[in-house]
Amino acid sequence: MNNECTGNFEILKQNVEICFALSCTRLAGNYFLAELHYMNEMLLQKTLVEAGPVVEAEIFASDEAFLKFKNYGTPESFAKVKLLVDTGSNISGLDQGIIKILNLNSYKETEDWVHGHGGSWQVLRYNCVLYLPIFKRKALTFDVLGGNFNGSPYDGVLGRDVLRFCEFKYDGVKNTFSLTAKGF
């Protein structure tokens, strides 16, 4: 397959109706990764052996970094991550190590309370850009809460703040799941 194409990448901002796009005339070969066969409507359908429903994603520090990398192949800092689909979480979370690597800034040192099975604690909120292959040529600007995912098979969780743009199907009998973008 040819590793060139033409098209537009966009940033979708939550709670903002205005989107912008830059035209691209050539995409870097980096865009065509192992996820190439997922460029159709459905992201993946994997077995749920021990880790649960985990998807591969790219996290960028800013809209500009995403657009420069995807449209022009400009070297930009981003992280390839594995995120657990967590329908019980109302906001997504990302490992503090990834947050430090991307040098994400928190919202004025304000902390959010997180309540879980293990109790309650305060964490910082950060803004970043999420790219999933199911988003095709778009990305989503979203907030994440910093967390500690050391020792887990994933780098964070994908909460309902992102899942509201998706359809998630879990088949316990077949031990599979699928995640499809809706409204993109």
How far, in Å, CA of 140 to CA of 62, rounded?
Answer: 10
- CATH class, domain 7-181, is mainly beta
Strands (E) located in 14-133: 20-24, 54-60, 78-85, 92-95, 106-116, 119-131
- Distances, alpha carbon 52 to alpha carbons 5, 33, 46, 130, in Å: 34, 23, 9, 20
Bridge partners, residue 179, by sequence: 168
Would the pTM count as exceeding 0.95?
Answer: no
Three-state DSSP class for residue 167: strand
Question: 129 with 56: CB under 8 angstroms?
Answer: no
Each domain of the chain, given as residue ranges in start order, spans 7-181
State pLDDT tens for residues 133-153: 999 889 999 999 999 999 899
Band of pLDDT at residue 38, cut at 50, 70 and 90: very low
